[in-house]
Amino acid sequence: MSVFYDKFERHSQGAGLKGNSTHYCPGCGHGLAHKYLAEAIEELGIQDNTVLVSPVGCSVFAYYYFDVGNTQAAHGRAAAVALGHKLSNPEANVISYQGDGDLASIGLAETVSAAQLGAPITVIFINNAIYGMTGGQMAPTSLMGQSTATSPDGRSMYNGQPMRMAEVIAGLDGPVYVERVALFDAKNRRNAKKAIKKAVQCQVEGRGYAFVEVLAECPTHLKMSPEDTEKWVKECMVPIYPLGVKKDLATESWWKRPAPNFEADHFLHAAGATSEAPVRHCEAFPTHLNPTDISLKLAGSGGDGAQTAAMLIARAAINEGFDATHIPSYGPESRGGTSYADVHVAKDEVLNPASPHPDVLIAFNAPSLAKFGPTVVKGGTIIYDSSIVKDVPPGIDPGVKVVGVPFTEIAVDLGKAVVKNIVALGALQAATGIFPKATLTGAIGQMLKDKCALIPLNEEAFAWGVKAVEELGK
Amino acid sequence: MAQLKERPKPFLLPDYCKGCGRCISACAKHCISFDKEIDAATGYVPVVIDLEACNACGLCMEACPEPYGLRETPQDVDFELQDPAKLFGSKKPRPEPKAVPDTLIPLPKTEPLVIKGNYASALGALLAGCRHVFGYPITPSTEGAELMAKLLPKLDGTFLQAVSEVATVNHMYGSGGAGYPCMTFTSSPGFSLMLEGVSYMIGAEVPGVFVNVMRGGPGLGNIAPEQSDVKLACRGLGHGNTHAITLMPSTPQEMLDLTMLAFELTFKYRNPVIILGDGYLGQMTGKVNLPSAMIKPGIPTWAVNGDADHRGNLISSIYLSEQDLEQHNIYLNDKYRRMEENESRSESFMTEDAEVLIVAANTPARASKGAVQDLRRQGIKAGLFRPVTVWPFPVKQLVKDLAGVKNLVVVEASNGQLEDEIRLALSKAGVTQLPVMSHVRHFGGMLPQQTEVLAHVKAIMAKEVR
C-alpha cells in the first residue's frame, strides 16, 4: 500500500504512534474506505496524477494519509473544488471524499450539480448516519427514530426523512456509475473495494462521473461496540439504504480536453482585434460643437436602435483617433421603456461619460424629446423623428437648433423600419457636421463586416437621413 | 506446472492495533482474539493472532481499518523490528516540486478596440493567461461571463456556469489551488455569497481574481450602479484575519489593465485580488488598447496540479494547534504589510496647489475629474485624488496631496464606505489635523454627477468667503 505516506507527518508532526496510525476511532468505517481507495490508486497506477479533496467532517484529515496531491475543501464544497481541479488539469484524477453532513446536507447543491455535469470525477460518500466530527448530531441520513444529540427523542417526521443519496444521484443523467456498498462483513468489504476501484477507473478511462456510497460504522457516536455497530448497519441501515449497483452505463471514453491555446494570432482573432488601421477622414476635432468634449444623448423606446447608433458614433470617433464613451441605460428600462444612451466624443480624454446637458440630442419619440429637450445646452442641436413627434414640446432653449426628420417614414419606405437609427445618424451628420459622412459609413461597415448583405440598405438609410436634412435647408 | 506461491499470513504490531475487533469476526478459523491486557502505548486492547489454524485467506487484513495494522507477514525480516517504515520497505520519495515559469507571448500592435468595461476586463484576464473562468449570471456583470463563454471554447479554455456563487468560488479554490489563473465576474449579492470561499482562499493562499461590478443594495436592491461593497472588500472578506488587494478602475481601459495587474498580484502574493467596478463602468463602452504581450502561465511550485512533480503539495487552511494558527496569521499579517508597502496605487490630478481635494473612485472619479476642470476654469483650486487600490489605501500619497488643502470632499455612491477608509487610513497614519470634510453621496443606483460635485464645491467655497 504505497499510496499511504510511510510516515503521517501531518498527523501531529508524525510524533510517536501518530506517525503510523490514523486519527479515526476504533471500528470507524473511514479507515477501511481509505484503505480500499489507496489500493485502487495503487492498482491503477495513478498515484502521481491524483488529487484527493478532503472534506469537512471526520475525514477532514484524509490528507494526512494519502501520498497524492491534496486539497482540503470548505464544508460541503469538495465536489465543486474537485471540479475546479479537474477542469483545470483534465489529466489529473480527482477524488472527492465526503461524509454525509458534507455531501448530503450543506453541500447538496454542489453534490447534485457536479453529478449532473458528469465530468469524470470520483466521489466517495461515507454514510454513517450521524455527524461525527461535531459530536453525534443528526445527519441528513440519520434513520427515523434514531436518537442523536440534535434529535434526542429520535428522528421524527418533524426532522424530515433520511436522504438516499445513491438513488438521488443515480436518478440524474450525468453519472455513469453509482453503487451503494457496506463494510460490515467480509463479502461486503470485498464489494466495497471493488466498487471504489471501479469508480476511480471510470475516471481514469474518461468515461464520466462515478459515485460510491459506503455505509460505514461510527461506534463512538452510535454509542455501541464496533461489533454491534456492524450489526446495526446491517440490520437497521441496509433496509433503508439498499445495497447494490444503482446505475452502471456502458458510456465510452469521451473526456478529451485540449491544452489551452496561447497563440497570439488566435487570441487577437477571438478578441476581434486587428492591426489594420481604419481610414481617417477628419481633418480636425469638430470644435464647432464643443472645443474639447462633445456630449450627446440618444433617447427612444427599446427597439429604436438608440444604443446601436450611440455605439456607432463612439466607434467612428475612436476610428478618427479621438476618445469616446457610450453608456447605455439598461435593465428593465431598456425593455419597452425609455432607452437612452449617453455618448461623449473628446479630443483627448473623456472625463465624465454622462450627458446631463448634451450638446446634441437625438430623440426617437415624444416622451424622450419632452424629457431631454430642455437639457440641451444653448447652441446645441436636437434632431427628432418627425414621423412620430408631431409637436415640439415647450421648454427648449431658443438658442437650440431643432431639426425634425421622419426617421421612421424613411426607414419604412426603404422596407426595414429597424434602420431608422441609421437614418438618424445620417441626419446627425448633415445637421451637425460632427464627422465626415465616410467616417460614419465606415463605422457602419465595420459593424456589419460579418453581415455584408445589409451594408447597402444601411448606407442607403444613412444617405436618406443626410438628404432629408439638406432638403430642409433649401 | 508453475508452483503456487504461498500466500502470506497476517502480522501485527500491537501498537498499531486499536482493538476494534473487525478482524475477529472476519476470521472463519477463529485465529484472532482480544489480548488479555491493555497496550501501554495506545490504551487499547489489541488483538492477538494464533497462526496455527490460519489458512492465509487474507480476510482479516481486508477487515483492518488501519493502514499499518494487520499486514502481510514480511519475508526475511527480523520480527523484533518495531518501525513500520523499516518493516514495510521505503516508499516513493516525495518529489521536490518544480516551478514551470510563465512565458511572454509578444502581440503585434493593434488598433484600439471599442468595447464595454466588462468585456475589457474579460480580455485583460485572457491576456493575463486566464483560461479557466467560473461564474453565475448576475446583472450588471453578466457580459463578462457571456464573453468568456463565447471566447474560451475558441481558446481551448473552460467557462463553467456554476450552480451558485458558493460553487463558483470553490471551483476557483480548486483551479487556483491547482496553480491556474482563474477568475469570476459577479455583482454585489453574488459577491456576498462568495465571501466564505474568499476566506478559505486567503487562509490556504490560493490565487484568484474576483471582478465585482457593484450594484445597488442592500438585499436584492437593484441592478443600477453603487459603490457599497467597499466595506466588504476592505473590512469583510469572510471570517478570520483577511485582506486582499482591492482595485477600483475608472475607465474601460483600466478594466483591462487592472485585471491584468490583478493576476500578477494574485500570484505574487498567493492571495485573492478583488476588482470593484460600478455598474456604469461595466456597461460603459470606450477605447481600449491591447498590451504588447500576452502571458502563457506556468505552474508554481506550491500548486496541487495533479502531476508527479507536485504530488507532495497540500492546499489547506487548517492549523489545528493554536500556536501554528497564530504563526500562520503572523505570516499572513506580514504579507498584508508587504502589500501595504508595495501595492498602494493612486492617481493625483491637479493636486499640487489644490485647496479643495476631491476623493473619488470608479466612474464618480471621472465625474469628479470633469468637475475639477470646471472648478479650475472658475478660479477654484480644486484637485482630485483617486485611490486605485482602496485596500491597501494609498495613504502616503493622500497625505502628500493634503498639503495646503482646506476642504476634503468625498464623492461616492455609498453611505460613506470610502470616507471610512480614508478616515481610518489617515488615523493610522497619525494625521490628526484633518481638513474640513464633506461629501457628495448617492445610493440606490445613481452615481454622483459632475454638476453635483461642482455645485457642492462652489457652495462650500461660498460659505468660506462669507
Count of structural domains, chain A: 2
- At residue A379, the pLDDT reads 96
CB A251 within 8 A of CB A176: yes
Q: What proportion of chain A, given as a percentage, has pLDDT over 90?
A: 89
Q: Mean pLDDT throughout B223-241?
A: 96
Residue with cell 456576498: B192
CB contact under 8 A, B92 and A47: yes
Q: Could you give the CA distance from residue A136 to residue A114 in angstroms, rounded to a whole number?
A: 28
A147 within domain boundaries:
yes
What confidence tier does B421 reach under pLDDT thresholds 50, 70, 90?
Answer: very high
> In the prediction, which pLDDT does A334 show?
40
Q: Which amino acid is at A196?
A: I
Residue B82 CA, chain-centre distance (Å), reads 45
Check whether A331 has a pLDDT greater than 60.
Answer: no
* CATH at residue A326: 3.40.920.10
pLDDT score, position A333: 42
**Helices B362-377 & B450-465, crossing angle to 10 degrees?**
50
Mean of all residue pLDDT scores within chain B: 94
Instruction: Check residue B224 and give its pLDDT.
Output: 87
Q: Do residues B187 and B139 lie in contact, with contact meaning Cβ atoms separated by under 8 Å?
A: yes
Output the domain CATH number for residue A97. 3.40.50.970
Q: Has residue B3 got a pLDDT over 70?
A: no
Query: What whole-number distance in Å separates Cα of residue A420 and Cα of residue A423?
Result: 5
3-state secondary structure of A70: strand
Q: Domain check: are A230 and A93 in the same one?
A: yes
At residue B80, the pLDDT reads: 59
Q: One fold for both B10-87 and B346-465?
A: no
Q: How confident is the model at residue B279 (pLDDT cuts 50, 70, 90)?
A: confident
Q: Nearest-CA distance from B391 to chain A in Å? A: 24
Tell me the pLDDT band of B78, cut-offs 50, 70 and 90.
low
**Nearest CA to B189 among B224, B211, B218, B169?**
B218
CB proximity under 8 Å: A 182-201 to B: 185-186, 189-190, 193
Query: What is the rounded distance in angstroms from the CA atom of residue B244 to the CA atom of residue B191?
Result: 14
What confidence tens digit (pLDDT) does each residue in B432-442 have? 999 999 999 99
Residues B264, B102: contact at Cβ < 8 Å? no
Give the CA angle between residues B126, B128, B129 to the nearest 5°: 65
Q: Same domain for A439 and A303?
A: yes
Asked if pLDDT for residue A162 goes beyond 90, the answer is yes
Give the rounded percent of residues in chain B with a pLDDT score beyond 70: 95
For residue B111, list chain A residues with Cβ-Cβ distance below 8 A: 273-278
Q: Which fold has domain B10-87?
A: Alpha-Beta Plaits (3.30.70)
| Three-class SS state of B178 | coil
3-state secondary structure B319-343: CCCHHHHHHHHHHHHHHHHHHHHHC
| Bridge partners, residue B409, by sequence | B358, B438
pLDDT score for B93: 78
Note the pLDDT of residue B86. Answer: 62
Q: Which of A17, A77, A264 sits opposite B15 (nearest CB)?
A: A17
Q: What is the mean pLDDT of residues B400-417?
A: 97
| Cβ pair A83:B158 closer than 8 A | no
Are A26 and A119 part of one and the same domain? yes
Considering only CB atoms, B170 lies closest to which of A35, A80, A263, namely A80
Rounded mean pLDDT of A196-202? 98
Residue B95: pLDDT above 90? no
Q: How far is A320 from chain B (nearest CA, A)?
A: 11
Residue A243 sits in the same domain as residue A307: no
- Give Cα A277 to chain centroid, integer Å: 35
The segment with the largest mean pLDDT, out of A11-15, A470-474, B159-163, is B159-163
β-pair partners for B215: B225
Q: How far is A108 from chain B (nearest CA, A)?
A: 11
β-bridge mates for residue A345, sequence order:
A294, A324
Residues of chain A positioned with their CB less than 8 A from the CB of B172: 84
A268: chain B residues, CB-CB within 8 Å: 107-108, 110, 290
State whether A299 and A163 are in the same domain.
no
Residues of A in contact with B134 (CB under 8 A): 84
A296 and A229 fall within a common domain: no
What pLDDT is recorded for position A175? 98
pLDDT at A354 over 90: no
Q: How far is CA A37 from the centre of its chain?
A: 32
Yes or no, beta carbons of A60 and B294 under 8 Å apart: no
Provide the 10 A C-beta neighbour count for residue B345.
18
| CA nearest to B316 within chain A | A72
Contact flag A92-B176 (C-beta cutoff 8 Å)? no
pLDDT at A70 over 70: yes
| Predicted local distance difference test score (pLDDT) of residue A332 | 42
Same domain, A185 and A296: no
Report the distance separating Cα B383 and Cα B48, nearest Å. 84
Give residue limits of the domains in chain B: 10-87, 103-342, 346-465
Is there a domain that residue A263 lies in? no
pLDDT in tens, A304-323: 899 999 999 999 999 999 99
* A109 Cβ neighbours under 8 A, 6+ residues apart: B163, B164, B166, B167
Residues of A in contact with B285 (CB under 8 A): 311, 314, 325-327
Residue A427 is classified by DSSP as: H
Of A248, A268, A293, the last residue of a domain is A248
Q: Is residue A435 part of a domain?
A: yes
Cα A464 to its chain centre, rounded Å, is 44
- Chain B contact for A327 (CB, 8 A cutoff): yes
Q: Residue A205 is part of which domain span? A: 12-248
Q: What is the mean pLDDT of residues B449-454?
A: 91
**pLDDT tier for residue B266 given thresholds of 50, 70 and 90:** very high
pLDDT over 60 at B1, yes or no: no
Mean pLDDT calculated for residue range A393-421: 95
Nearest to A100 by CA among A65, A135, A126, A67: A126
What would the pLDDT profile of B176-187 be if each residue is shown by its tens digit?
999 999 999 999
CB contact under 8 A, A275 and B158: no
**Range A95-124 average pLDDT:** 98
Give pLDDT, residue B294: 98
Q: Is the pLDDT assigned to residue A335 strictly greater than 50?
A: no
Tell me, yes or no, whether A322 and A201 share the same domain: no
Residues of A in contact with B315 (CB under 8 A): 70-72
Q: What homologous superfamily is domain B103-342 in, according to CATH?
A: Thiamin diphosphate (ThDP)-binding fold, Pyr/PP domains (3.40.50.970)
Q: What ipTM does the predicted assembly reach?
A: 0.95
* Cβ pairs bridging A and B (under 8 Å): 340
Contact between A77 and B170 using a beta-carbon 8 Å cutoff: yes
Quick check: A121 pLDDT over 80?
A: yes
Q: Is residue A125 part of a domain?
A: yes
Same structural domain for residues A392 and A454? Answer: yes
Among the partner-chain residues B223, B286, B314, the one whose CB lies closest to the CB of A331 is: B223
d(CA B136, CA B160): 9
Any domain includes A310:
yes
Question: Which of A167-181, A300-314, A322-336, B238-252 comes out lowest in average pLDDT?
Answer: A322-336
Average pLDDT over residues B190-194: 98
Closest by CA position to B119, among listed B141, B158, B147 = B147
Q: pLDDT value at position B118?
A: 94
CATH code, B346-465: 3.40.50.920
Exposure class string for B407-446: b at 16+ Cβ within 10 A, else e: bbbbbbbbebbbbbbbeebbeeeeeeeebeeebbbbbebe
Question: Both A242 and A327 in a single domain?
Answer: no
State the nearest Cα–Cα gap between A349 and chain B, in angstroms: 10
Whether residue A330 is predicted with pLDDT greater than 60 in this model: the reply is no
